């Protein structure tokens, strides 16, 4: 099954990201494909296809890493793109508070999963973000959208853990299912 580790977003932040997505689609139409609001999240590690036996090891690593983490505030603001707003392939919003904690979390997960031969990291360094649209082909200049939403805060949330998700691909888009929640040590009850 296809899996990834992530921090899911509150419904408030998901709904707030509808506005820049609408502006993007109005400007570029079918050149872009928006991510379904309920699928918006901060990806920590994309694990790809894993077998059922590996799930137990992933869950053990997730539990161990979560036990060493404390909850933190995460602020979602602004619009950007990879590789740049002038040559966008991936349209995103930034994490402007809590990025260091997310990087620390991702590093700990990545190290332990790589040691267990369960993860191959992306060739780019980890930059915490939320992808809300992708360019279907080629690249777009979304710098006007980036400037329009430069100072826009889409919301804040307390991050109290992370999730192991299953992803099933369908013609209408991916469907995600939470397999496991890993609460941080100071939030488990």
Q: Is residue 78 within 8 Å of residue 150, measured between CB atoms?
A: yes
pLDDT attached to residue 182: 98
- Strands (E) in the chain, as ranges, are 2-8, 32-34, 41-49, 72-82, 90-97, 129-135, 153-159, 161-168, 175-183
Provide long-range contacts, Cβ within 8 A and 24+ apart, for 169-177.
169/2, 173/35, 173/36, 173/39, 174/39, 176/38, 176/39
At 99, which helix (H) or strand (E)?
helix 99-115
Q: Is residue 163 within 8 Å of residue 43, measured between CB atoms?
A: no
Helix (H, G, I), strand (E, B) or coil at 18: helix
Q: Please give the chain's pLDDT, 189 residues, in tens.
A: 999 999 999 999 999 999 999 999 999 999 999 999 999 999 999 999 999 889 999 999 999 999 999 999 999 999 999 999 999 999 999 999 999 999 999 999 999 999 999 998 888 899 999 999 999 999 999 999 999 999 999 999 999 999 999 999 888 778 999 999 999 987 644
Against a cut of 0.85, is the pTM above it? yes
Cα 172 to Cα 34, 35, 122, 175, distances in angstroms: 12, 11, 26, 9
Q: Single out the residue of 181, 174, 145 nearest to residue 6, CA to CA.
A: 181
pLDDT attached to residue 187: 60
DSSP at 10? P
Give me the count of residues in the chain: 189
**Domains of the chain with bracketed CATH:** 2-183 (3.90.1140.10)
């Amino acid at each position: 099954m296809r899996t990834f580790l992530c921090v899911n977003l509150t419904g408030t932040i998901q709904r707030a990201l509808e506005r820049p997505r609408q502006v993007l689609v109005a400007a570029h139409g079918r050149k872009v494909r928006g991510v379904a609001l309920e699928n918006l999240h901060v990806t920590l590690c994309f694990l790809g296809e894993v077998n059922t036996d590996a799930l137990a090891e992933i869950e053990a690593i997730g539990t161990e890493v979560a036990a060493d983490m404390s909850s933190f505030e995460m602020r979602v603001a602004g619009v950007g793109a990879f590789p740049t707003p002038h040559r966008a392939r991936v349209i995103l919003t930034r994490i402007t508070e809590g990025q260091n904690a997310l990087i620390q979390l991702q590093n700990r997960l990545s190290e332990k999963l790589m040691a267990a031969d369960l993860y191959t990291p992306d060739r780019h360094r980890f930059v915490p973000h939320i992808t809300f649209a992708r360019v279907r082909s080629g690249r777009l200049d979304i710098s006007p959208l980036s400037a329009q939403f430069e100072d826009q805060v889409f919301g804040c949330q307390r991050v109290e853990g992370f999730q192991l998700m299953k992803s099933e691909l369908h013609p209408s888009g991916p469907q995600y299912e939470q397999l496991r929640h890993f609460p941080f040590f100071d939030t488990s009850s």
